[in-house]
Structure 1
Amino acid sequence: MFGWAITFLIVALIAGVLGFSGVAGTATQIAWILFVVGLVVAIVFFLSGRRTRI
């Protein structure tokens, strides 16, 4: 997830430099959503992996 978020962030930066504000805004929103989803999934995996089994 984080790899895709970085990819979309780079696309947004390049589109912003070239003047494509619509594409840059969309890519930024996609990058933000992927980052948040990746963070939530990472926290869930971290918490579920720490349980001790009796």
Structure 2
Amino acid sequence: MGNILVWIAVILIVLWLVGYLGFGEAVGSFIHILLVIAVIVILVRVIRGAV
């Protein structure tokens, strides 16, 4: 399960970069929210020591 969360975080970061660089405000804002969720998941894993 842990590897799945890491892959989801990586995919969300890539999608955020694509949206931020290429598709303007609407898609970029949505993907930015997904990025924030991905960062929260990574922080929870670091705090739990499950990196």
Return the TM-score normalized by structure 2.
Answer: 0.55
> Secondary structure of 2:17's match?
helix
In the alignment of these two chains, the number of paired residues is 46
AA partner of residue 30 (structure 1): L
Question: Is the alpha carbon distance of 1:34 and 1:19 closer, same or farther for their aligned partners in structure 2, counting shifts above 3 Å?
Answer: closer
CA distance in 1, matches of 2:35, 2:24: 16
User: What percentage of residue pairs aligned between the two structures are identical?
Assistant: 17
Q: 1:3 aligns with which of 1, 7, 14?
A: 7
Q: Deviation digits for residues 3-46 of structure 1, max 9, x if unmatched?
A: 212211211211222233211121122122122123213422x2
Give the number of the structure whose residues are more often helix, by fraction: 2
Q: Would you say the 8 A contact 1:12–1:28 is kept in 2?
A: yes
Q: CA RMSD in A?
A: 2.2
Which of 26, 29, 44 is equivalent to 1:25? 29
- Rg bigger for which structure? 1
- Equivalent residue in structure 2 for 1:37, among 16, 38, 41: 41
**Structure 1 residues without counterparts, runs of 5 or longer:** 48-54
